[in-house]
Chain A
């Protein structure tokens, strides 16, 4: 009797590459951003409702957890922007050499952190 063949392991054993890490993060941040935009819209519309509701939300956003959320969303947007630029360049057919993909991937990862800091400082001090 021939037994049903098993499936060989895939994501369990495959080593992460910089490019695959950026690709999956691009998807995850994409989903986060959709949710974030919806929440931001709700937040804005609360302005029209009343000062009390708006104040409650502001109180939440000023708490440690709220600040963490804001930072998270800022990072998520930064990552998405940089990664999208990388995708755009690739759509033109450039940047497919192994070394270039590694460098551009690293730029996206570290750049997103730098962008987060810059956006946070601008938001805190100048707006």
Chain B
């Protein structure tokens, strides 16, 4: 059943206010979702006043500044800082994206930072993505071909290779899946845009020999058809990919091909 509200223990309270100590004139308020697993308290929103004169351009830089200079207890995932690893996926100003590629200048007023939506929180901005990884594993994201070709390379035409463009670039940051209302409320069964984009990537790979079996596996009322083309996924993708279109292509294949 669709649960619109948050459970009682997940209700967000007002948190601490960190006043600026640098005396800067160019301040920006940053509201950050905090939850400490050891405290037993509800999540809260802490507000930081950040000196924007000495801050690089991206939201991740703002978070680094807070952690290094204001409050070292803040927890968030980050690694490459160049939009390649997908670690710093979070919800900024009401939209999912990578903190390292989102310029804070694009956000008017206060910067609101939340973890990716509808996840169990481990700490602060760190959400639990185990369910998504299990679903990713369930589509068997590896090349399946008969044993005879194991010793030689499998050739692919330029046209067949071009079909993978827009699908193989996915970094599994989960921005799309956690932006999807269908995935919020059916995430235990519905595979979600990220995993379905990868399912599509293996279905259309000309070298793969399990196309039929892959299609059959994904052809499920809950696994696939919970997509109602809300299109939050496509607008959230920080790599500019189009999971909604990939899902539509899978549906089209199932509607036209005999399985």
Contact = CB atoms under 8 A, between A and B. Distances in A.
Contacts of A59: none
B77 interface: no
Given A10-B184, A12-B6, A15-B95, A20 B230 contact: yes
Interface residues of B, number: 47
A124 interface: no
B188 interface: no
A111 to B, nearest CB: 18
Interface string A69-93: 0000000000000000001001111
Given A3-B37, A91-B251, A9 B114 contact: yes
Interface in B227-251: 228-232, 234-235, 242, 244-245, 248-249, 251
Contacts of A1: 40
B259 to A, nearest CB: 18
A20 B119 contact: no
B242 A14 contact: no
9 contacts: A4-B9, A5-B120, A8-B118, A14-B94, A15-B93, A20-B181, A93-B245, A93-B248, A98-B235
Interface of B: 4, 6-7, 9-10, 12, 33, 35, 37-40, 42-43, 91, 93-95, 112, 114-122, 127-128, 179, 181, 184, 228-232, 234-235, 242, 244-245, 248-249, 251-252
Given A8-B121, A10-B184, 6 more contacts: A5-B128, A7-B10, A8-B91, A19-B235, A93-B249, A101-B231
